[in-house]
A and B are shown apart, each in its own frame.
Chain A
Amino acid sequence: MGPGLDAYRTAHDSFAEQWASGYKEFLAIVAELTTAAHRLLVNIMGVDEHP
């Protein structure tokens, strides 16, 4: 294993870590938007089929 491969692995791990952390936040935001959209749908239609 040369220094090039180590550098690649470090960069890869660092990227994967940052990506995963950001993606987790992103999924939380997705859940927020979904909840807000559902609330709005109930409000628009005036009926909550899944209270």
Chain B
Amino acid sequence: MLLLVQVVILGAAAAVGAFFGEYLKMRGKNLATKADFESLQDQLRANTELVETIKAEAGQNWAKRERTNLRRIKLEELMEQMHECVAVLERLGSRAVVGDCEAGRRDPVAPLVAIGDLYFPELENEIYRFSRKWREQAMMYRSQEYGSWP
């Protein structure tokens, strides 16, 4: 009888041991998997943030480059327009005395002022002085053309 009881107790202990052994093994495995998963999640999060940062920086650099390029092009246009204004004024000066009516009709200053307003607030004073003086000189021509001069 005693032997039977011992056998039952041993069997029960073995069963309990086996159960808890398996349970703890599974539990440990799950914990390890969870830790690995969290670690992977952290890595993925860090990588995503890094990619987003790089994308944002690349976007900013691209926009900055585009703006720089646009301003360079517009500054070249501004200079070309300035030289066009000088050429028109020279033609006005040389033709005023012989009464060329056509030369005074154009106003090449307007596009120059527009480019300045849009892209180069830094040059506001210089462009203002330029346009004022250009128009003053052109008006001098027009005054003569329309007979204000004696």
Contacts and interface: CB of A to CB of B under 8 A. Distances in A.
Judge: A and B partners, yes or no.
yes
A19 B93 contact: yes
Contacts of A29: 126, 129-130, 133
A4 B122 CA distance: 51
The size bracket of the interface on A is 20 to 34
Contact of B130 (A7, A30, A45): A30
A44 B82 contact: no
B30 interface: no
B137 A22 contact: yes
B146 interface: no
B132 to A, nearest CB: 9
Contact of B150 (A7, A16, A27, A40): A7
Say whether chain B's binding surface is mostly helix, strand, loop, or mixed: helix
A33 B82 contact: yes
Interface string B119-134: 0101100110110011
Interface string B66-106: 00100110010011001000100100010011000000000
B131 to A, nearest CB: 10
B144 interface: yes
Given A36-B123, A36-B126, A30 B86 contact: yes
Interface in B130-150: 130, 133-134, 136-137, 140-141, 144, 149-150
Interface of A: 7, 10-12, 14-16, 18-19, 22-23, 25-27, 29-30, 32-34, 36-37, 40-41, 44-45
Given A33-B127, A33-B129, 6 more contacts: A11-B150, A15-B97, A19-B93, A23-B137, A30-B82, A40-B75
